A and B are shown apart, each in its own frame.
Chain A
């Protein structure tokens, strides 16, 4: 009997190799660099190369390791708690990421829904149009926005021309500019996962809801939205996480009063040459982001296990 049924738990060598690939990748390009950053975050700044101490001298044997361990400290993390700059930076980043993710959802959902409802021939064209901005360099598109949003830029000239405003408003170096830049740049990451789910949504479910006495708007809340929740979750994670650490958009379009966390890391690293402080900020950021992902993932797995 046992021989007749092949044991599916025993994997072939090729399967093992394929499974090992993503783990190797994560090990080499996430875990090892992360451990290095983690180590630096426990170090002290120094005018040296590399600009921190202690360094691990394996040549000195056991004493070298002892000295190395004695040199590590939690000072950088204490500073994160005491200096309001860091806390404000985190709060600002999470705030901007949360609001712009909501904005992206509000803008992206109707777009994805609209694409999924158009005739199939046109859908491919519309999806290409959504992705088309990627053909141009991200940096160039942000510079273009600087141009549009500046004092005598395109936006203000249009607003003045149609008499919506008398005095040209200030756009650049405001949070509004950051939101504009983020929503513009991240829209495809919200639209595509939503479209993928909505496109597969069975139309007869919508008709069944109508047949059972449910008006259209209510059908959206009771049927369409719950069934598209995997796409919403994917889009939210794809946008929220990178936005928290966003550097280029707030640096080019935003003001300097309350920097986002990406700018703070950059300042510590390149401005103050304080690698250990920058590393500590980065480690806390990773912890802040990993927690919600793990929770979401866990819930998604449980939902998937049920269906």
Chain B
């Protein structure tokens, strides 16, 4: 009898936008960062970093706290001066341009609204610096307040608003000058979860509507994956991988990226002589579909996402990529359950199983003996 498949592959976090980077047909990037370095004392917060961002892109800088992503944003805004490297905006070197002359705006993590000014005056602040006519300013401010659905709040002071409203004022203030580039420093971090989820989609909507280029800094991988066209994963002041959300999730460049973006099971081994298998792992010999881009005997890691792992009570018919173990933990999340399974060598493997209820049978229980398997297409082989 064919083993009952309890889990189905379905939970893949992906981008709603197209994944292809824009402007690859030789167009000049809007923002070019070239060998940028910023040191604080002996510590390099940004370390020889290079990156191109194209007009109209929604780019996310993703990384753990202290990875240098906020420093990079502040370098672009001009609040920090680099020790080396260049930042070009539309081909113009920004080095001699002071922050108040840069054609870009930033939305601050704490919003940095002026407490002594009304909402309308906060939004008008940037336009007044441009010396626009009073009537023009009033018109653009009310348009912008309407865009963020705060048209009735112009006369209020920031402290009279809720957190979500303050966030929208900050956004309006940063957008009203129609910058070529908008920098957003953890724009949703201070909101509660429900508001955050709703605001993500509002941000994407706004970006599409205005056709602006957004760079968002976040430590929240699902936020980055939802909003961004491309993600730059940062660690230790360097970009470890740049690509579409699907690229980064499905084809992580390193163990660190694989582990940072979602959960991953890693099996250490050596490349087999046929370069389509990895030998000597805790799960024995593992077979992969695509040829491995490394010489035989090279130490590598096989990465398998938990949702790619199948969980069965009976041994699967295919001999490859299957191993048995005992369920030690079950985390019930509603739409899916996370199973932690102890395998022969004592290490743990994680499987994420959708609670679709379609199999119509009792789900696996604690301490039950089960089989784990995955297809040859499921794993990614990582050399670092």
A interface residues with partner B (beta carbon < 8 Å): 202, 204-205, 207-216, 218, 222-223, 226-227, 306-307
Contact = CB atoms under 8 A, between A and B. Distances in A.
A215 B110 CA distance: 22
A212 to B, nearest CB: 4
23 contacts: A204-B110, A204-B112, A205-B112, A205-B114, A207-B77, A207-B108, A207-B112, A208-B112, A208-B113, A209-B114, A210-B99, A211-B106, A211-B174, A212-B125, A212-B126, A212-B129, A212-B177, A213-B100, A214-B100, A216-B100, A227-B115, A227-B116, A307-B115
Which 5 A-B residue pairs are closest in the complex by CB-CB distance? A212-B126, A213-B129, A208-B112, A204-B112, A210-B99
B156 to A, nearest CB: 11
A226 B125 CA distance: 14
A12 to B, nearest CB: 31
Interface string B160-189: 000000000000011001000000000000
Nearest to A206: B112
A307 B112 contact: no
Contacts of A205: 112, 114
B181 to A, nearest CB: 12
Nearest to B99: A210
Nearest to A216: B100
A209 B115 CA distance: 12
A214 B98 contact: no
B350 interface: no
Contacts of A214: 100, 125, 129
Nearest to B173: A212
B99 A208 contact: no
Contacts of A204: 108, 110, 112
Nearest to B130: A213
Contacts, number: 61
B112 A202 contact: yes
Contact of A213 (B79, B101, B108): B101
A226 B100 contact: no
Nearest to B79: A207
Contacts of B78: 210
A205 B122 CA distance: 11
B77 A211 contact: yes
Contacts of A211: 77, 99-100, 105-106, 174
Contacts of A227: 115-116
B285 interface: no
A208 B177 contact: no
Contacts of A226: 116
Nearest to B78: A210
Interface string B185-198: 00000000000000
Contacts of B129: 212-214, 218
Given A202-B110, A207-B79, A212 B116 contact: no
Interface string B71-100: 000000111000000000000000000111
A205 B159 CA distance: 15
B140 interface: no
Nearest to B129: A213
B100 to A, nearest CB: 5
B157 interface: yes
A102 to B, nearest CB: 23
Interface string B100-128: 11000110101011111000000001100
A195 to B, nearest CB: 19
Contacts of B98: 210, 215
Nearest to A229: B116
A47 B68 CA distance: 84
B114 A208 contact: yes
A221 to B, nearest CB: 12
Contacts of A223: 114
B74 to A, nearest CB: 8
B102 to A, nearest CB: 8
A72 B114 CA distance: 57
A166 B112 CA distance: 56
Contacts of A222: 125
Nearest to B170: A208
A88 to B, nearest CB: 41
Contacts of A207: 77, 79, 99, 106, 108, 112
Nearest to A207: B79
A145 B177 CA distance: 56
Given A208-B108, A212-B129, 17 more contacts: A202-B110, A205-B114, A207-B99, A207-B106, A208-B113, A209-B125, A210-B78, A211-B100, A211-B105, A211-B174, A213-B126, A213-B130, A214-B100, A215-B98, A216-B100, A222-B125, A227-B116
Contacts of A215: 98, 100
Residue among A212, A215, A226, A307 facing the most chain B CB atoms (10 A cut-off): A212
A114 B177 CA distance: 32
Interface in B54-80: 77-79
Contacts of A218: 129
Residue among A213, A214, A215, A226 facing the most chain B CB atoms (10 A cut-off): A213
B34 to A, nearest CB: 23
A222 B114 CA distance: 10
A306 to B, nearest CB: 7
A211 B182 CA distance: 11
Contacts of A213: 100-101, 126, 129-130, 177
